[in-house]
Amino acid sequence: MKRDPSRASTRFTPKYSTGLALVVALVAPACGASAAQISAVTSLTGTASAGQSVYSSQCQSCHGTNGRSGSAGRNIVQVAQSNTNAAVGVILLGDGTMPSFDNTLTDQQIADVIAYVKTL
């Protein structure tokens, strides 16, 4: 079957972001991250310049300089821009090969990293 050329320029919009948020909301309490922890981070105002420093030291080796590729990491820009709660949950809990940063980063550092990633 031939692809419709009029659809070729349509940007792909992931359909999993809402599902991921639901998974995080359901799984987070069982894994130690609570809705209160996620809310504590999302209530903060992140600073992209501070987040860049944390990103460089904690995230860049896996997610790359642009947040879209790297040695092992997924495209985190897409998640951060579409669902902040899901991004916070993944940072707190880890996901697949990504470790949990719950005991590594402060709430403010997580908010800063997300603010920085949203600028990428």
7-57 residue pLDDT tens: 444 444 444 444 544 444 444 444 455 788 888 998 999 999 999 999 999
**Domains in the chain and their CATH numbers?**
16-117 (1.10.760.10)
Residue 70: pLDDT band by 50, 70, 90 thresholds? Answer: confident
pLDDT in the model for residue 57: 96
pLDDT over threshold 80, residue 3: no
Give percent helix, percent strand, percent coil of the chain, each to the nearest 5: 60, 0, 40
49 burial type by CB count under 10 A (0-12 exposed, 13-18 middle, 19+ buried): exposed
The mean pLDDT of 95-119, rounded to a whole number, is: 93
Residue 95: pLDDT band by 50, 70, 90 thresholds? Answer: confident
